[in-house]
């Protein structure tokens, strides 16, 4: 029967793309990872990796069994975390990372309620830029995160969608693009775009909404706001970030002729599935799950 250790080595090796990378992540020697996977293949009577090339790749059977292994590990982590939380007392402190583009008056209502239900717990709030919440949770710097959704979460994350955020193209009223009744993609490409990006140099999700070849990058949407107001460029920003500036007339929405529907990005609640959260952490997760960011 496959052990949790064998399944963990299999999943991490598949996700990282090599036995050596899996060993580094697990804090083991490479031979221990190779042995665990070999024994798993023997027990399962199936070849999981094709070792004919320098970098082992999953076989067809390995691709199918990877999902089953991930499900087993997820259930194992959830069981351990649930059991530990039932036997533990309240935390003395909690850290929540809320991405700067995620904003809602309902968040403040939840935190106000939290202060009354758990008056003696120290709460730390982080406001990272685009794409950095998941890393804070993964590295144990934050216990819970609210962030713009990612296409892929590594093994060990629990997450659920709690709504959507509308992304809109904006500039200052005096910017050349704002003088056009309708803006084409070619128009956008002729002017500098200010793009929000993660502090992680390996995170390239910002490229999804990069249109212009002339680009400035910033991890803070609020820095981008000031650059826009200074007529330095245009940007795609989340509605919650620009709402006040639009009402004040400091920014305007560009009317894109080629964009017929709203750009919506999901908002996810994330936490580490193998980390024990006490009553206060579980309470916050339940409250955040009930929020509606739509």
* pLDDT tens sequence across 178-204: 999 889 999 999 999 999 887 777 767
- Report the percentage of the chain scoring pLDDT > 90: 32
Instruction: For residue 283, tell me if it sits in a domain.
Output: yes
Short-list 191, 189, 193, CA closest to 215 = 193
**Residues 17, 54 contacting (CB under 8 angstroms):** no
As given in the structure block, the two tokens for residue 240 are: 């919650």
- pLDDT reported for residue 171: 95
Q: Look up the domain containing 81 and give its range.
A: 4-87
Instruction: For residue 294, tell me if it sits in a domain.
Output: no
Backbone angles phi, psi at 25, to 5 degrees: -65, -35
As given in the structure block, the two tokens for residue 42 are: 């023997």
- Whole-prediction pTM: 0.62
Number of domains in the chain: 3
Q: Are residues 147 and 284 in the same domain?
A: yes
- pLDDT reported for residue 133: 87
Average of per-residue pLDDT across 99-107: 81
Instruction: For residue 218, tell me if it sits in a domain.
Output: yes
H/E stretch holding 165 reads strand 157-171
Predicted confidence (pLDDT) per residue in 206-218, tens digit: 777 789 999 999 9
- pLDDT reported for residue 82: 61
Angle, in degrees to the nearest 10, between helices 60-87 and 279-289: 120
Q: Are residues 215 and 248 in the same domain?
A: yes
As given in the structure block, the two tokens for residue 261 are: 């529907």
Residue 79 pLDDT greater than 60, yes or no: yes
Instruction: For residue 17, tell me if it sits in a domain.
Output: yes
Strand partners, 238: 167
Predicted confidence (pLDDT) per residue in 4-59, tens digit: 998 899 999 888 888 888 888 888 898 898 998 899 888 889 998 888 877 788 99
Residue 77 pLDDT greater than 90, yes or no: no
Q: Of 87, 117, 135, which marks where a domain is finished? A: 87
Nearest-angstrom CA–CA distance, 122 and 92: 6
169-190: b or e for each residue (b if 16 or more CB lie within 10 Å)? bbbbeebebbeeeebeeebbee
């Amino acid at each position: 029967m496959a052990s949790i250790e064998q399944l963990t080595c299999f999943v991490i090796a598949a996700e990282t793309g090599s036995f050596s990378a899996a060993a580094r992540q697990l804090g083991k020697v490479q031979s221990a990872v190779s042995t665990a996977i070999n024994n798993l293949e023997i027990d399962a009577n199936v070849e999981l990796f094709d070792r004919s090339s320098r970098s082992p790749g999953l076989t067809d059977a390995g691709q199918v069994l990877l999902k089953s292994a991930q499900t087993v590990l997820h259930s194992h982590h959830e069981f351990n975390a649930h059991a530990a939380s039932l036997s533990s007392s309240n935390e003395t402190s909690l850290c929540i990372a809320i991405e700067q583009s995620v904003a809602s008056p309902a968040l403040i209502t939840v935190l106000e309620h939290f202060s009354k239900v758990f008056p003696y717990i120290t709460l730390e709030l982080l406001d990272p830029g685009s794409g950095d919440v998941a890393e804070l949770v993964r590295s144990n710097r934050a216990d819970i995160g609210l962030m713009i959704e990612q296409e892929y979460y590594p093994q060990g994350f629990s997450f659920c969608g709690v709504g959507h955020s509308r992304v809109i193209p904006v500039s200052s009223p005096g910017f050349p693009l704002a003088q056009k009744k309708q803006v084409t993609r070619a128009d956008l490409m002729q002017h500098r775009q200010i793009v929000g990006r993660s502090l992680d140099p390996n995170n390239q999700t910002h490229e999804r909404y990069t249109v212009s070849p002339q680009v400035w990058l910033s991890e803070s949407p609020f820095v981008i706001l000031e650059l826009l107001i200074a007529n330095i460029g245009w940007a795609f920003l989340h509605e919650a970030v620009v709402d006040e500036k639009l009402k004040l007339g400091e920014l305007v929405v560009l009317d894109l002729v080629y964009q017929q529907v709203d750009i919506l990005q999901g908002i996810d609640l994330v936490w580490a599935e193998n980390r024990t959260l006490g009553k206060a952490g579980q309470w916050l997760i339940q409250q955040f799950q009930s929020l509606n960011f739509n």
